[in-house]
Copies of this chain bind each other. A is one copy, B any other.
Amino acid sequence: MKKTTIHDIARELNITFSTVAKALNDHPRIAAATKEAVREMAIKLNYQQNKLASSLRSGRTGIVGVLVPTLDVSFFSSVVHGIETVMNENGYNILLYQSKEIYEDEIRGVDTFLQTRVEGIISSVALSTKNYDHFIDLKKRKIPLLMFDRTVDEIGVPYVRIDDYGGGFMATEHLIKQGCKRIVHISTDQQVEIFKERLRGYKEALLKYGLPIDESLIFYGNLSIELGKNCIKKLVDEKVDFDGVFAFEDYTGLGALKELKDLKINVPEQVKVIAFANEAFGAHITPSMSTVDQQTVKMGEEAARLFLKLIKENKYYENAPEQIILDPILIQRESSQ
C-alpha cells in the first residue's frame, strides 16, 4: 500500500499543499472549517504525520542523547536509569549510544545524535579520548552538553559527579583504620579528572596518618580485571611488602582479589582490599568486596534535572558552568575487615 502524503489530502480536498500543511500544524490563518476537513480526510486516508518533519520546523524533538562508554557496567547503566526516570517524567525520551571507550566511536555517537536532532547530549568521556574537539564543538554550536562522572576541565560545560577526592581519601582512611600500613593504589591514566582526584585523596589520607607515599606502591594501567591481577603478580614477584589494596574501580579490584586468592594470600587477614564504584557483582563474590558507592541513580537524576533547568532557562552557555558534587558512600564488606 502506497503511503498517504500531504499531497493526497490536498488533491482530495482540492486545496493547496501549503494549506494542508498549515492546517495540520494548526496555523492561525487557516479557517476552523478547513482544519476540520483536513483532519477528517487525514484520518480517512490513514495519513501519518511525519513527526520528524514537524520537529524540523518546530526545532523541538523532545529527545536527549546519552553517550556513555559502555552499558555493560552497572555504574553507567544505573546512572542512565536515573537520567531516564527524570527525563521521562518531564516528557523527554532518551536515546543511548555506547562509545565502547573508543575515541572514534565517541565522535560517531555525537554525529549520530546531531543527525537525529537531539535537543542536547549528556555524556561521560571514553578512556581513550585525548582530544575533546567534538565536545567543544557542541558548545560552540550552542548545543546543550552536560557531562557526568568522567569530566574534563578543558571542555568547560556543566557537570555532575561525586567528590572523588573525598572518595579516595575515605577508602584509604578505611584501610588505615583497619590496620594497613603499606597500601597499594592501582590507578589509570591521569587525564580524566576523577581518577586524578582519587589518587590525590589516597595520598592525602596517607599524609594525614603519617604514612609515607611510596611510588613503588602506585600503579597505572588500563581499567580491567587483568590490570588488578598483574599488579598483584608484580608486587609478589618483586617481593614488595604490602597489606592493603585500594583499586581505583571495581573490575581492577576484582582482578586483585582473584590473584590474591590464586596465590593463597588470605583476604582480609593478610591483605585488605577496597575498590570504587559499587558494581553489582561486588556483593555476590567471595569474599564480598568493599567499595565506594557513587550514588549512581541520584547522579543520573541530578544530571537530568540540571540539564532540564538549564535548557528551560534558554541560556545554556551564558553563565559559568554549574557543577553538582555528590557525596561518596563507604561500603564496608568482607574484603577489608
The chain A residues found within 8 Å of chain B, CB to CB, are 1, 3, 48, 51-53, 55-56, 61, 63, 70-72, 74, 77-78, 80-81, 84, 88, 93-98, 100, 105, 108-109, 111-112, 114-117, 140-141, 254, 280-281, 284-286
Please state the number of chain copies in the assembly: 2
- Do the beta carbons of B63 and A115 come within 8 Å of each other? yes
Query: What are 30 A-B contacts with C-beta separation under 8 Å?
Result: A51-B111, A51-B115, A52-B52, A52-B56, A52-B117, A53-B56, A55-B115, A56-B56, A61-B116, A63-B112, A63-B115, A70-B77, A71-B71, A71-B72, A72-B74, A72-B77, A72-B78, A72-B81, A77-B77, A84-B98, A84-B100, A93-B97, A93-B109, A93-B112, A95-B97, A95-B116, A96-B96, A281-B281, A281-B284, A284-B284
- Do the beta carbons of B71 and A115 come within 8 Å of each other? no
Alpha-carbon distance A114/B95, docked complex (angstroms): 12
Alpha-carbon distance A55/B116, docked complex (angstroms): 10
- Do the beta carbons of A63 and B284 come within 8 Å of each other? no
Alpha-carbon distance A95/B74, docked complex (angstroms): 19
Chain B hits for A284, CB < 8 A: 254, 281, 284-285
Whether A114 touches B51, Cβ cut-off 8 Å, given contacts A77-B71, A84-B98, A108-B93, is yes
Alpha-carbon distance A1/B141, docked complex (angstroms): 8
Chain B hits for A48, CB < 8 A: 141
- Do the beta carbons of A115 and B61 come within 8 Å of each other? yes
With A63-B116, A116-B116, A280-B281 already in contact, 18 other A-B pairs whose C-beta atoms are closer than 8 Å = A1-B140, A48-B141, A52-B56, A52-B116, A52-B117, A61-B115, A63-B112, A63-B115, A70-B77, A71-B72, A71-B77, A71-B80, A93-B109, A93-B111, A93-B112, A95-B96, A96-B97, A254-B284
- A66 to chain B: closest residue by CB: B96
Chain B hits for A140, CB < 8 A: 1
Chain B hits for A281, CB < 8 A: 280-281, 284
Chain B hits for A98, CB < 8 A: 80, 84, 96
Chain B hits for A55, CB < 8 A: 115
